[in-house]
Structure 1
């Protein structure tokens, strides 16, 4: 069974946790200093928020699958829609290790399909081009390898949407 994934970048994590906990009438299943996630059954959604220097608002959408077979099925569907599906295997992303595929819808909204393999203690993989300060702060890993932002992200923004379409070193939320 698949689960819708929504990731929103927020200005204030504590206020947002309070708001969404009230809206969903449950506390998050994961809380970190810069991230929270609710794994809801009603509606069946993986809803995540983060405060990592990205533009506030919708970060990306996704479909979380429960098996490698479902992920392969989704990869076939996406490949029929777009020839440039971005594949990531065993990537560290949002305190989880996952296999995933990325595409953009016709409006440029990034969609990921992913199969979570394990939970991990870090937000994402370090960017090999990060400065020592960025690496120490854990803010250098970017999230969306194919995103086509409709707004210009400043060059010093630590995450999430890269200004190029393809990324050879990416990690995500």
Structure 2
């Protein structure tokens, strides 16, 4: 069963963790120095916050697939939406190893479709060095300016 994904940028991680822990009546499933994630079952959502990125508020939305078939279905839907699809394949980002692709809606909101394959110990969004911090992982940086090679794979960043 798929899980809805929301990623927010926040100014103060500690205050935001306290707020969302109370709001969800649950502590985060994962906490890092610049990142926290709740894997909620009611409602079924992967809710993440981080201090990395531009400003504050919604960074990107997404759907987390539980298996390859669900991810393939999401890719078919993304292609059917008549939008450019950025297929990253297997990548490391947000402290996880994932298979993912991105599509941007008509308003410019990035949608991430992904299957988490395993946990990863890495600096948030910097598996490989990047030229500019604003192109670092996760979310809209991958959609808004990271070069894409001839196969449609992102180059120069983790996601």
- The normalised TM-score by structure 1 is 0.79
Report the counterpart of residue 52 of structure 2 in structure 1: 52
**Cα 1:72–1:55, aligned 2, differ >3 Å: closer, same or farther?**
same
Moved over 2 A (4+): 126-130, 139-144, 164-172
Q: Does 1:169 align with 2:156?
A: yes
Equivalences for 1:121-140 in 2 at 5 Å?
A: 121-122=121-122, 123-124=124-125, 125-129=127-131
Deviation at 1:69, TM superposition (A): 1.0
Give unmatched runs, 5+ long, in structure 1. Answer: 148-161
Give 3-state SS (helix, strand or coil) of 2:108's partner. Answer: coil
Cα 1:142–1:109 change in 2 (3 A) is same
User: What is the correspondence of 1:6-45 to structure 2 with a 5 Å cutoff?
Assistant: 6-45=6-45
What do the CA deviations read for 1:5-42 (whole angstroms, capped 9, x no partner)? 00000000000000000000000000000000000001
1:4-153 alignment runs, 5 A limit = 4-122=4-122, 123-124=124-125, 125-129=127-131, 141-143=136-138, 144=140, 145-147=142-144
| Contact 2:100/2:114, CA 8 A, preserved across alignment | yes
C-alpha deviation, 1:68, in angstroms: 0.8
**1:159 aligned partner:** none
3-state SS of 2:143 partner: coil
Determine the C-alpha separation between the residues in 2 that align with 1:108 and 1:117.
27
- Could you say what secondary structure the match of 1:26 adopts? coil
Look up the SS of the partner of 1:60 in the other structure.
strand
CA-CA distance at 1:107 after TM superposition: 0.7
- Taking structure 2 as the reference length, the TM-score comes to 0.86
